Structure 1
Amino acid sequence: MRVVIAPDKFKGSLSAAEAAAAMGEGVLAVYPDADVTAVPVADGGEGTLDAALAAGAQSRTARVTGPLGREVTAVWALTEDTALIETARASGLALLDPTPEAALAATSYGSGQLILEALDAGARTIILGIGGSAMTDGGSGAMAALGIRILDDTGMPVPPGGAGLLRAASLDASGLDPRLAEVDLRIAADVTNPLLGPEGTAAVFSAQKGADAEAQAVLEEALGNWARLLQSATGIDVDIPGAGAAGGFPAGFLAFTKASLNPGFELLSSFTGLDAALTRCDLVLTGEGSLDAQSRYGKAPLAVAARARDAGIPVVAVAGRITLTPDELQEYGIVAAVSLLDVVQRPQDAMDQAAKYVAWATRQVLEGA
């Protein structure tokens, strides 16, 4: 029997690679002669880089500017001529204390520096996973790192961060790195929020980055000014669905590069080797910390299941908790599923000893399938 194990992370307890290893232990307990292939997956958010590295990509590191200006060490991945960058490693919410002041000042500059690192390494394709961001700066920081000068009405550079865009009066693109015109830049963006308005990035997402009502209003006005400057400079309207992802990070790239917005799982499935693995297996296991209503909106485990279903391969799911009904799971080709909450004595055990119980639950569900 050939088995592909393709889970996402169990947030707060196991990385996708660790979850895959635990599931593999359970599979081999039931089918000791199984040919097991682990393909940890992600959807562009946290864990994206870990999934790429688990798939064999080379780990690279760089010292870059963090979200509030302090230097940080950021890891990115390279395989042949394709780079994968998780912007949270340079510009992530985990790198600061979310306060209104931080929400106004956080910059994506370090993420732009990672793109420069990838270009210097010869990357011809750059995949950007943009979940977990700290900034609401419309990608202006990254654009500055890549050579765009954002100037106030006296011709001086504006301060970094979303609030600094209130003072932006003109753009000088003469120093933009010319290699960006040749690279295939793909942004993993699963949300459809526009840049501006009641469904825009400041209104919907900035509160989780520390913004209070006053800061949200400032960021909305600043991003509106940024959008007007981008359209004036390039003729491109960046207030489109998806541009509100990660604090509007895609906006600058949509204006000044050939960047495309793509569903995260679709980008990463080929990068991690999942597509190839599914062509030669008899059973697929997937899962994540919680299989719930949010999982139906492009999250990796159900996307894995749907792809296997379409190939006629049965799917078994293992998750920390499952709130989807059996009928909903069946829509995705999941023939059996188990929650860790079904096999632990105390819910906290599912977090504290996740690997043990993922292996145990996998064994139990396969024996009963």
Structure 2
Amino acid sequence: MKIIIAPDKFKGSLTGMEFCSAIEEGIKKHIDDVVMVKLPLADGGDGTVEVLKYYLDGEMISLEVNDPLHRKVNASYLYSASKKTAFIEMSAASGIRLLKEEEANPMLTSTYGTGELIADALKRGATHIILGIGGSATNDAGMGMARALGYRFFDSNRKELEGKGEDMIRLDFIDTSAVHYALKKVKFEVACDVDNPLYGINGAAHIYSPQKGASPDMVAQLDNGLIRFNKVVNDQFAMDLQHIKGAGAAGGLGAGCILFLNAQLNSGIELIKKVADFDNKIMDADWIITGEGKLDSQTLSGKVIRGVLDALSGQKLALFCGLVDLSEEELKAIPTDYLAQISSSAKDVKDSMQNARIYLQMAAEEFASSGLLGSEKNMY
């Protein structure tokens, strides 16, 4: 029998690899004749670096870059020299977590530091860059990132712009004459799990900038700036970014990645599955075990479990979750053959999180002794 263990993390409790080990140990206490393959997954958000490090055999590269307000900060990204592949989380340099609450202001913030991380990966010889764009503090359509890679932006008086959110409304011309020579040699893939347009009531400014410190007046200015940005791009490059799904992600960075990096926007979980060669490795499996900290209404919207469900081709599915927050009707929509909620064994939520590994291993033992996996070990 072959079992694939392919979980997301239990946020705040277990990494994906810790989940895999707990399940493996629990099952092997009861069953000998089983091959278990660990394929931890992620959706492009927290925990993705660790998962990719497992598959890419990479190292963390640290350097000093500019934070969203152009202050020096140390940021890191994952680089695999053997595969010439980098994974960069824009939040490492341009994330909202780098700012105090009172500093958040998407009119003034920039993705310049993200561009500096990309430039460093290019210098090291990267030919494939995966960019995670969650958690941004910015709404600059990627202009800051592009400036760090040689693009230059000017207003109607040919005054150069810094590439902050407030600069979009003044944009008149994009100079590409000094763009980094290596950009055309690199395949860029962006982990993007939203489909917001660039501007409008469902666009970057209206939906996300209030979370980044924007007042209602700022939201209107930023939205007009995104409209202006798209007009200049359309006039210069005959490219209408507004109608591309995900263009509004990360304050318009989705659009900027398409324009400045010639990037593809993809589901985060699908990108990670591709790196893991997931679809091929599960072909001859009997069971797939997956799970996440909380099974809720968001689970089936671009998260890890959704990605596993999409890959099923006859394998049985077991779900191990910290907490199940779905109705009976919602659960019926998930084609699972086994479901375990580990919090049901704990005294309370705190106990469940602090001792998640113990409870998960116990749940795996119960699964192994259920008879669903075949004969148990001969204990005598």
- Asked if TM exceeds 0.5, the reply is yes
In 2, the alpha carbon distance for the partners of 1:342 and 1:148 equals 55
> What is the match of residue 114 of structure 2?
111
**Paired amino acid for 1:62:** S
Cα deviation per residue 1:156-208 (whole Å; 9 max; x = unaligned)?
33234312323333221111123222322111212111010111111112222
Contact between 1:165 and 1:223, CA under 8 Å: does it hold in 2? yes
Cα deviation per residue 1:203-251 (whole Å; 9 max; x = unaligned)?
1122222323233223222222222222222111111221011221121
In 2, the alpha carbon distance for the partners of 1:233 and 1:62 equals 36
> What is the match of residue 13 of structure 1?
13
In 1, the alpha carbon distance for the partners of 2:128 and 2:117 equals 13
In 2, the alpha carbon distance for the partners of 1:17 and 1:41 equals 9
> What is the match of residue 207 of structure 1?
210
> What is the match of residue 271 of structure 1?
275
> What is the match of residue 129 of structure 1?
132
RMSD of the TM alignment (CA)? 2.2
Q: Does 1:316 align with 2:297?
A: no
**Paired amino acid for 1:13:** S
> What is the match of residue 219 of structure 2?
216
Query: Residue 149 of structure 2: which of 140, 146, 149 is its match?
Result: 146
> What is the match of residue 292 of structure 2?
288
In 2, the alpha carbon distance for the partners of 1:28 and 1:225 equals 60
In 2, the alpha carbon distance for the partners of 1:23 and 1:159 equals 51
100-109 or 35-44, which deviates more = 100-109
Q: Does 1:254 align with 2:258?
A: yes
> What is the match of residue 67 of structure 1?
68
Percent same amino acid among aligned pairs?
A: 34
Q: Does 1:244 align with 2:244?
A: no
Report the secondary structure of 2:337's partner residue. Answer: strand
In 1, the alpha carbon distance for the partners of 2:34 and 2:270 equals 28
Give the Å deviation of 1:288: 0.9
Contact between 2:246 and 2:255, CA under 8 Å: does it hold in 1? no
Give the Å deviation of 1:341: 2.3
Report the secondary structure of 1:334's partner residue. Answer: coil
Gaps of 5+ in 1: none
In 1, the alpha carbon distance for the partners of 2:6 and 2:55 equals 11
Contact between 2:127 and 2:186, CA under 8 Å: does it hold in 1? yes
**Paired amino acid for 1:105:** L
In 2, the alpha carbon distance for the partners of 1:30 and 1:199 equals 52
Contact between 1:138 and 1:249, CA under 8 Å: does it hold in 2? yes
In 1, the alpha carbon distance for the partners of 2:184 and 2:135 equals 27
